[in-house]
Amino acid sequence: MLRIRLWQVVLVVLVCAAGVLFAVPNLFNQQSLSSSYPGWLPSSQVNLGLDLQGGSHLLLEVQVDAVMVERMDALVDDARSALRRKRIGYTGLKRRGQKVVLQLTKLENLDTARELLEDLDREVEVESTDAGAFELTLSESAIAERKNSALGQSIEIIRRRIDETGVSEPTIQRQGEDRILVQLPGLQDPERLKRLLGKTAKMSFHLVDQTVSNADLARGRLPPGTMRLPADDEADSAGNPRLYPIRKRVMVSGDSLVYSQPTFQDNQAVVSFRFDASGAKKFGRVTQDNVGRRFAIVLDGKVISAPVIREAILGGSGVISGNFTTQSAKELALLLRAGALPAPMKILEERTVGPDLGADSIAAGKIACVIGLIAVIVFMLLYYGMFGIVADIALVLNLIIIFGLLSMVGLTLTLPGIAGIVLTIGMAVDANVLIFERIREEVKSGRSPFSAMEAGYKRAFTTIFDSNLTTLIAAVILYFLGSGPVQGFAVTLAIGIVTSMFTAMLVSRYILVWWLKRFRPKALPL
């Protein structure tokens, strides 16, 4: 244990130097760091969590049942098209809950209809009776897969929308089967965040049914395949939203959009867009075949624009106009770029943390760390003398390396994380205490200073390793099973365990071995 090679010393020195270099930027504020700090040195600082620098906290619930409703509505259209192609008569085709039901008009078509409906989708289960009644449902595995996919897709879309706003270090986590936790440190405008996350932004392009009269539209008497949707920013003479008769068939889906940007046309804010190759072909074909008809742009169940097709648009690009402000045009373009959410979301919990509260937490954490550090340093100095000074040096290096790692890796420091650091201060000297007490016992048994030092480090290593390993396992379990504050505590605790092992078993040992070989004392000052 006392034989130390040069490369080992060099490696330890380099690790300590790297910890110092990465920790130093935390002593400067952002302005000083960008103006006077050398650009060739590491400049990353510890990221502060929501509870330390303030920000917005939202708990969202993804309404995954809406995904199933949409899927069953699509299944109704598929079944209608398939039966009509084969000229099979039916009545009562509709969605009932999470089922699609229909009744055949002629029983001789029973077997043909069953085969036809079973071929619609391998995930669809078809049940029928001898009387010609059919029920179509999705399998349990298909339902679970769609709900899980909707939640995962929602997380990805939320991440894209937040990234577009320029917010750094967001926390976006899944909670349970249908919830998403969103934390945005430093963001003090939760209303804009709610506007961005609360919109499904599902855009589609439909033809307006021009066969429906205004009287029938007002009464809701619509032909099959037509729905009544309100305008987003148009009102009738009574001040109510204007209604449009919209064909249910989606001519072009917003999923085909590859570009959207806010711009100006005739001094009005508009949103320009462009489709991919497949979407451009559909868009061109629809506009070419329907010149003179209204073409509605529907966003989240509202008609935001319904212009008349003057000529074929073959380039795959267009403009969305409306009563947009510059800000609303920017937000719509952002939503379209990020993509549509697969299902609506409901805000279950909303919390905004002010920067003053975070500053108070940081101040309290600093005081706790300083008090803990001073108490441990004084205790080690009084109880172990010169050996205590070495342990104190290792303790300070341990804290420096912890902050260096947090800065280098880009981990987020939270208030529970500060608690983990305070706990690490006490645990960091635990290994040195075990080693020093073991060396004392070896000295009392009559060993020489060299022999006592070697035996102390060698025999205490197993105990130190086992105790730190069990604590590390607990920290890992806390991280993977916990969330939010628990994870913040687990991260700093785990890092503190690793760095304290490094400083206790290597840094303090190398210092003591150097002192022992340099001065060759006849007795150890313990």
Cα separation, 500 vs 498, in Å, equals 6
Q: Is 70 exceeded by the pLDDT of residue 516?
A: yes
Max distance between CA atoms of the chain, in angstroms, equals: 109
pLDDT per residue over 455-471, tens digit each? 888 888 888 888 889 99
Q: Is 80 exceeded by the pLDDT of residue 137?
A: yes
User: Which ranges in the chain are annotated with CATH 1.20.1640.10?
Assistant: 6-19+46-52+354-519
Hey, is 448 helix, strand or coil?
A: coil
pLDDT per residue over 192-228, tens digit each? 777 777 777 778 889 999 888 888 888 888 888 888 9
Q: Is 90 exceeded by the pLDDT of residue 263?
A: no
Question: pLDDT band at residue 86, thresholds of 50, 70 and 90?
Answer: confident
CATH architecture of the region 203-325: 2-Layer Sandwich (3.30)
User: Which ranges in the chain are annotated with CATH 3.30.1240.20?
Assistant: 65-143
pLDDT per residue over 389-405, tens digit each? 999 999 999 999 999 99
CB-based contact 432:64 (threshold 8 Å)? no
Q: Is 90 exceeded by the pLDDT of residue 422?
A: no
Cα separation, 382 vs 391, in Å, equals 12
pLDDT per residue over 10-34, tens digit each? 998 999 999 998 888 888 776 666 6
Cα-flanking dihedrals φ and ψ of residue 472, to 5°? Answer: -65, -40
Q: What six digits make up the tokens of 431? A: 């290994």
Cα separation, 244 vs 304, in Å, equals 11
Four-way CATH pick for 6-19+46-52+354-519: 3.20.20.80, 3.40.50.10490, 3.40.50.1470, 1.20.1640.10: 1.20.1640.10
Please identify, in words, the CATH class of the domain defined by 65-143: alpha beta
User: Which ranges in the chain are annotated with CATH 3.30.1360.200?
Assistant: 203-325
Q: Is 60 exceeded by the pLDDT of residue 489?
A: yes
